[in-house]
Amino acid sequence: MLDLDSLPGDDLAVNLADTVMLAVSPSIDLLDDGHAKFWATQALPEGARAPSAEQTRRLRSAVRELLEAVVAKREPEAWAAERVNAAAAAVPTSPRLIDGRAETCWHGGDGGEIALAAVAVAAIDLVSGPRAARLRRCGAHDCSMLFVAANSRRVWCTPSLCGNRVRVARHAAKG
């Protein structure tokens, strides 16, 4: 079974979306016991801190809807786009020249949640850019994880877990 330690790690938005396992009944919320751990393991902009669990779950539902819409090749629900846009807009950014290269600086001084804004920006970049075509749902029937495929042949969220489990079951069925 997947847990926070085995998230595919493809993208900040995908990682947040994958913190709820929907292919099991009842669904499993990996944030129930791992909210702080999730945020501690993500590559976040400087100054970001873990938002509340409620804020995290609200954004997760919107991000998951956006990503699921891309995978299903349909328009996302309007509320999801609005929520993601609001999270992205809550924290202004500015370019800064640091050591001869441009970096994005996040300004959360007005109470905005930098971590949520970073997830929202990652989601917007993913669904509106060229990587959207590589966004997939895991090919294992009992997994709901999403991932950005590095190549066209990738079908499992984590080849060492889901991919291996499916291959073992297929081999056993032949036996």
Domain ranges across the chain:
12-134
Q: How far is CA 80 from the centre of its chain?
A: 14
The tens digit of pLDDT for each residue in 48-68 reads 999 999 999 999 999 999 999
What integer pLDDT is reported at residue 157 of this predicted model? 84
pLDDT of 1 above 50: no
Structure tokens at 136: 């997939």
Give the angle subtended at the CA of 68 by the CAs of 66 and 70, to the nearest 5°.
Answer: 75
Q: Which has more confidence, 110 or 19? A: 19
**pTM (predicted TM-score):** 0.87
